[in-house]
Structures are given as C-alpha cells and as structure tokens.
Amino acid sequence: MFHDKNVIVCPDWIMSRKLLSKFEESHGHCTRDPWPQLGITRSSAPDRMGCLKLGDNVDRLLLDGLESIVEKAHVISDRAQMQNYLADETAGPVKPKPANDLVLVRPANTQQVSAVLQLANRHHLAVFPRGGGTGLVGGAVPTHDGIILSLERMNRIEIDKENMMAIAEAGATLQRLANTAGQAGLFFPPHPGDENAQFGGLVATNAGGSRAVRYGVMRNQVKALEIVTATGEVLSLGGRLHKNNVGYDLMQLIIGSEGTLAVITKVTLRLYPKFAATATIILPYSNRDDAMSTVQKILQEAGTPLAIEYVSRDLLEMTATHLGERWPVAVGNCYLIIIGAEASRDQLIPQSVRIREICRQNGGFEPFYVESQRDQDKILRIRSNIYFALKNETVDILDISVPVSELVRVIDSIEKIAREDKLFLPVFGHAADGNLHIHIMKREGDTPDHVKALRNEIYGIAIDAGGVITGEHGIGKIRTDKIQSCLAKEEIELMKAIKRVFDPNNVLNPGAKIPA
Ligand SMILES: Cc1cc2nc3c(=O)[nH]c(=O)nc-3n(C[C@H](O)[C@H](O)[C@H](O)COP(=O)(O)OP(=O)(O)OC[C@H]3O[C@@H](n4cnc5c(N)ncnc54)[C@H](O)[C@@H]3O)c2cc1C
C-alpha cells in the first residue's frame, strides 16, 4: 500500500497535490532546527516547532491541506469545539497548559493518518496523538502549537475466535473490546481503571491495572501493531503469532512510547477463555504488616488470583460515602481485596478456602466473601471510585513501583511523612505488583515548592527501595525532569538517539517521555 515516503499514496491526498504545491509555494519547506526538545540545538524555544503559522486565524492554506486529507467536519480549528481535547485526567495543579494555536484532526483511516503525518513532518508541525484522554501525566495534552490527532473514529473491532485474538483499531475503547470479546465467549484481562481509554492510548502507555498480577500489563497482550511513523510510513509489526524471533522487536519498543515514536492505528490482542466462576474476598487486618505478609503466601500457596489490591479502611469508607453507599466490612483497619476467577466453582472454592486459612494464620479477621455478581460489582465500584472521591482535592497522583518485599517499609515511610507533616496522604494500590498510588492532597497554605519537595521525597523512598517513579501511568509531560533519577545517562542518550531515528523532525508528541 505504501511504497516510498516521497510518493503520496492516499487517494484523497493525490487529489490535493495541486493544493499542496500551492501551500508549499506560500510557506516553503521548514528549515528550522528540529531538535529543540532534545537539547541538540542552541535554540530551545517551543514555538520554533512549527514554521507554519497556526495563529488565532489558523492558516487557511493549512486547513485546506488538512481538509483535503480528512473530511472538513473533522478538521476543527474553533477553540470552543476542541475544549475536550485540550486536557486529560492529570490532577489540576500539575496539568500542563495547552498551546494556543491548534487544529484538531479526526482521521477515518490509516491512509489519512499517514497523509496528515507527511504534511506535518514536511512542515515540522507538532502532532499530538490522542486517545480517550484518561491519562494521568499530561501525555496527550497539546503543549505546542500544532495538530491534535484524535483516533476516535477509527474504532472497529474484529474477533478472531480461532486464534483467540482481537484486532482493534486505535480508537476502540476498553469497554467496547471487553464487551465484544465477552459476547464471543472470550475475555480480555487488562483493566486499568477507566474503561473509556482507547487502545491507541492503552498501548502507548503500556497500561497495567489490577489484573496484571495474573496476566501482566498491556505489552504482554499485544501480538501485532499497525503503526504510522512520523514520516508517514505505514508498518505492520508482529502478527497473530505466539512466537516470533525475527529481527529486533520494534513492536515492543512502540508499546509504552507514549506517542513519541509512532502513531498506533491498529492493535492485535491476545484473548483468553472466560471464567465460569468468580468471587471477591475481602481480607481484613488490623495492621498493614500482616496484610502485606499475606500477599506472597497467597501467591505461593493458593495460586494467582485475578487481582490483589491493598486499600485502607478510611479510604474505602470515604469513597462509599461519596457514592452514597456503605462499605460492607465492619472489622479491620486495612484490607486486601482479592478477586478469584477460575474455570469452575470446583476450582474456585478450594482456592478461596486456602486464602481464608492463610488470612487467619497471618493475623487477619474472618474474610468477607461474596460470589453474587451484584455484590462483587458493588465492592469493585467502591474500589474503582477512590480516584473520583479524592479527585477534587488531589494536587498530584504518584504511581511508584517497588519490589513487593519492600512494600511495608515504603508505605511506613510515606505514612511517617504524612504524620510528621500533618498531611492526608492516601496510599493504595496493586499489592501483588508492588505498585502504589499516592495522592498528594491540597492543603491550605501549601506552595508548589512544598508539593515538589514532597513528591521528590516520596520518589526518593521508592528509588532507595530499588523501585521506580512510575509503574503504570508513564512519564507524559509532567515527569520528564525526573527520569534521570531512574535511568543512567547512557540509557537516556540511547533513548534520544532512538527518538531521532523514528522521528527525525521531532514532530511526534514533543516534550513527552524523554527530557530535553
Ligand atoms: C480513574 C482512572 C483510573 C486509572 N487506572 C489506571 C490503572 O489502574 N492502570 C493504568 O495503567 N492506568 C490507569 N489510568 C490511566 C489511563 O487510563 C491510562 O494511561 C490509559 O492507558 C490512557 O489511554 P487513553 O486512550 O485515555 O490515552 P490518552 O490519555 O489519550 O493518551 C495517553 C498517551 O498515549 C498517547 N496516545 C494516545 N493514542 C495514541 C495512538 N493512537 N498512537 C500513539 N500514541 C497514542 C498520547 O499521546 C499520550 O501520550 C487510570 C485513569 C483514570 C482516569
């Protein structure tokens, strides 16, 4: 389909060749140094990204160029109409500010994505790939003048039952894929908290979620990707294969690249048989040490459940109140919430019994056990809404990842800070993965410097414990200055070199993932 980057192949685009020439006659090719973001050039001003002027009166010829690729109704320059595309779910105080001069483009197919990227690359215009906007680190926020590229119209899903795989276009949401797979009697395990996330974003962030304990993260599910490079080439990486050892694994490099190396247009995902029996078991403890010491025992002696979450009682009660509900467990100060999921009830019951024994042997109270879907959904709803209950007062959400053996020490250290500083610093997370979410909450009189110092202190605790600053949410645009705390200088240089190979003009999501 695509043969040569200099040959324009999209049928719509061929029709617009004349227009393009006219466009280039008046604007010329961009000659500015493309590397301001990577510190390769003396100039580092972000507004040097584009040589086309995308002013209040967004350049008419640019709009004509884009409208000749994508239907007019999907090229939007009116600020009011693009409001929903200017931010993501990043906490208010740390949310990056969107640029002023932006065009929103919603392509219908891969050829259109390719043609938009060719145009943008030729003129060194920044392109911000966008999924569901559920990211928590400003990754999709368009921070330079340029193009917001929303893949939402590309949302088809095909189920390949024979190979137990799904082929989803980048704009398909997690919710639709889970339902479509379910209707086919199959199951897609990863479940990061917000089902409005789209597959382009889920793969670009290598999302995790509570079920990673048994199935791993997004990169463990992806079998193939269709991508469009910054220069417009369409590539198919991987295949409907379980084993593939040909060449370097470029597919895995794109997974988690946060829109900086390529635009993902299609994803092939592994599916699994549906479970016939599930149960939710809440293990109550009076202290965290006992709760955490149970986690490894369960994994070693009872098999791997679908999820093992750690949450304190005060957070769950607060969230239940926020939802107008009641947290059903009356004992304990902290909990492990376990989801058991097996092929039959005959397998589920002995596992649940063993978990109960382990809980009791480790200082826990009598577990709270539910099997009815309604009761399980109620508990999960409360757990999933912690984020929303805290949202209005949250200043930043940290997402540290540490060895499981260090969890107790790490949470103790964070709670010590909270106690000494008289702060409300909620900590919860995916206990079996060593992945903790910490909400830094608003406090009267706190300055941005105070928040920064607190964040650095918590990052320091994670790194000292052999961990990293993010396990799931990624670096986005708000953590780039912190990656040198986890990576060697040489690693960062290699990453910058990879970025240059994939995106020679630094048009794809500038300012994200790696530092300037
Ligand atoms: C309530 C809540 C709970 C959450 N829980 C979890 C959790 O448990 N685990 C977890 O991992 N995350 C979680 N998240 C974060 C979020 O859902 C994930 O980061 C998600 O993967 C982002 O997908 P999206 O479609 O919304 O992407 P966006 O936010 O739109 O974009 C995220 C990044 O992906 C890039 N991108 C988007 N589409 C493409 C594409 N087609 N090609 C290339 N790059 C692209 C963007 O440029 C950006 O850098 C949670 C978020 C919320 C709001």
Q: What is the pLDDT of residues 353-402, one digit of tens each?
A: 999 999 999 999 999 999 999 999 999 999 999 999 999 999 999 999 99
Compute the distance between CA of residue 347 and CA of residue 355 in angstroms, rounded to an integer: 13
Q: What pLDDT score does 186 carry?
A: 97
State the pTM of this model: 0.90
- Is 194 touching ligand 1 by the criterion CB < 6 Å? yes
Q: Is 90 exceeded by the pLDDT of residue 129?
A: yes
pLDDT digits (tens, 9 = 90+) for 280-297: 999 999 999 999 999 999
Residue 169, pLDDT above cutoff 60: yes
Q: What's the confidence (pLDDT) of residue 516?
A: 77
202 contacts 173 by C-beta, under 8 angstroms:
no
What CATH number does the domain located at 11-153 have? 3.30.43.10
The CATH code of the domain at 392-478 is 3.30.70.2740
Mean pLDDT of 178-207: 97
Nearest CA, atom 39, ligand 1: 200
Pairing of strands 146-150, 126-130: parallel
What is the average pLDDT score of the chain? 90
Please say if the pLDDT value at position 78 is more than 80: yes
Class of the CATH domain delimited by 277-386: alpha beta
Q: How far, in Å, from the CA of 433 to the mean position of ligand 1?
A: 19
H or E segment and range at residue 450: helix 448-464
- What value does the CA radius of gyration of the chain take, rounded to a whole number of Å? 24
The CATH architecture of the domain made up of 157-273 is 2-Layer Sandwich (3.30)
Q: Contact, 264 vs 250, CB < 8 A? A: no
Q: Which residues pair with 150 in a beta bridge?
A: 130
Does residue 19 register a pLDDT over 80? no
Which element (helix H / strand E) includes 305? none
Is 392-478 in the same CATH topology as 277-386?
yes
Region 481-503 average pLDDT: 96
Which residue's alpha carbon is at the smallest distance from atom 46 of ligand 1? Answer: 140
**Which residue has the least CA distance to atom 40 on ligand 1?**
200
Pocket test for ligand 1, best of 95, 134, 380 (most atoms within 8 A of CB): 134
Q: Is the distance from CB of 316 to CB of 325 less than 8 angstroms? A: no
462 neighbors 406 (Cβ within 8 angstroms):
no
User: pLDDT tens digits, residue range 223-257?
Assistant: 999 999 999 999 999 999 999 999 999 999 999 99
Rounded CA separation 404/466 (Å)? 10
Segment 107-129 mean pLDDT: 97
For ligand 1, what atom is nearest to the CA of residue 387?
1
pLDDT at 44 over 80: no
What percentage of the chain exceeds 90 in pLDDT?
86
Binned at pLDDT 50, 70 and 90, residue 60 comes out as confident
Sign of CA dihedral 91, 92, 98, 104: positive
Question: What's residue 64's pLDDT?
Answer: 92
Q: What is the pLDDT of residues 438-490, one digit of tens each?
A: 999 999 889 999 999 999 999 999 999 999 999 999 999 999 999 999 999 99
Mean pLDDT of 88-117: 96
Q: Is 264 in the pocket of ligand 1 (CB under 6 A)?
A: yes
Please check the confidence at residue 48 and state whether its pLDDT lies above 80: no
Average pLDDT over residues 78-88: 97
- Going from the Cα of 131 to the center of ligand 1, the distance in angstroms, rounded, reads 7
- Residue ranges of domains in the chain: 11-153, 157-273, 277-386, 392-478
